[in-house]
A = this chain, B = another copy of it.
Amino acid sequence: MSRASDRAYRKIRSFILSGEVRPGMQLTEERLSEVSGVSRTPVRDAVQRLENEMLLVRSASKRLSVADWSNDEIDEMFTLRGMLESHAVERAAQRMDAKRLNQLREINEALTKAIDQATPDIATFLTTNRQFHDLILDCAQSPRLSKLLPALIEQPVVRRTAHQYSREDLMQSRADHEELIAAFTAKDEAWASSVMTSHIRRAFHSFSVATKIGVEE
């Protein structure tokens, strides 16, 4: 059986990622403990984790609310993610082995199946896409990156706009993954790194178009 603090963490996190609780909304620890069915102690653990991921924020008076990001913060989030994932992919290229390379290929095949349909299966796309990035992160063998990156990758704003992505966006993602695999096969760190940089920035562009933000009017 999992720990109560983990259950609370997952529950609150899913509320935020799904958009069930809106950015800026005020929360109380007691309310969260009711919702997640555990006492305030493990809730406080969970809340602190979510604060560190910047999904929750505390006002000056320690009151709790769901984070509400400015366009500048979202832009920077993608920038940082680009820098760190490019770095991760360099490390991964140096440490890649045949077994994991095959796993990457399998994951990307699953991803291909998900989008090669009349109506792309976005949920599966998101899951397999995440698996792909997670496996790379695993290959990078860096505890620090493994701690920092997930908080930049899993974001409510991204999650909520995913279903608006065009087929071209999804196809391009798949192609990027293919190229990454090629770079890994060639053990070419610089190639892998540059592909990842554009992969992430392109994701930001798709996101911007989907949400109409990031374009000065």
A residues with CB within 8 A of B: 41, 44-45, 48-49, 52, 54, 73, 76-77, 79-80, 83-84, 87, 91, 142-145, 147-148
A146 to chain B, nearest CB (A): 11
Residues in B neighbouring A91, C-beta threshold 8 A = 76
* A47 CB, min distance to chain B CBs, angstroms: 11
Could you tell me the dominant secondary structure of chain A's interface residues?
helix
Q: Assess A142 versus B84: contact at CB under 8 Å? Given A45-B48, A48-B48, A147-B54.
A: no
Report yes or no: B84 in contact with A80, Cβ–Cβ below 8 A.
Answer: yes
**Chain B residue at smallest Cβ distance from A142:** B76
- Cα distance A149–B50 in the bound complex, in angstroms: 18
A44 vs B83: C-alpha distance in the bound complex, in angstroms?
32
Q: Contacts A45-B48, A48-B48: A143 and B80 contacting too (C-beta < 8 A)?
A: no
Set of chain B residues within 8 Å of A87, measured between Cβ atoms: 79-80, 83
Whether the Cβ atoms of A144 and B76 lie closer than 8 Å is: yes
Whether B148 and A73, one on each chain, are in contact in the complex, defined by CB atoms closer than 8 angstroms, is: no
Q: Are A144 and B45 in contact (CB under 8 A)?
A: no
Give the distance in Å from the alpha carbon of A99 to the alpha carbon of B144 in the complex. Answer: 36
Chain B contacts for A148, CB-based, 8 A? 80, 148
Report the minimum CB–CB distance from A69 to chain B (whole Å).
Answer: 9
Using known A-B contacts A45-B48, A48-B45, A52-B52, determine if residue A144 contacts B83 with beta carbons closer than 8 Å: no
CA distance A41 to B40 in the complex (A): 12
Q: Please name the 3 residue pairs, one residue from A and one from B, whose CB atoms are nearest each other, closest first.
A: A83-B83, A52-B52, A48-B48
In the complex the two chains form, is A143's CB within 8 Å of B73's CB?
Answer: yes
C-alpha gap A77/B147 in the complex (Å): 13
Cβ of A145: which chain B residues have Cβ within 8 Å of it?
76, 80
Q: How far, in whole Å, are A41 and B45 apart by their CA atoms in the complex?
A: 10
Q: In whole angstroms, how far apart are the Cα atoms of A45 and B143 in the complex?
A: 21
The answer on a CB contact under 8 Å between A77 and B45 is no
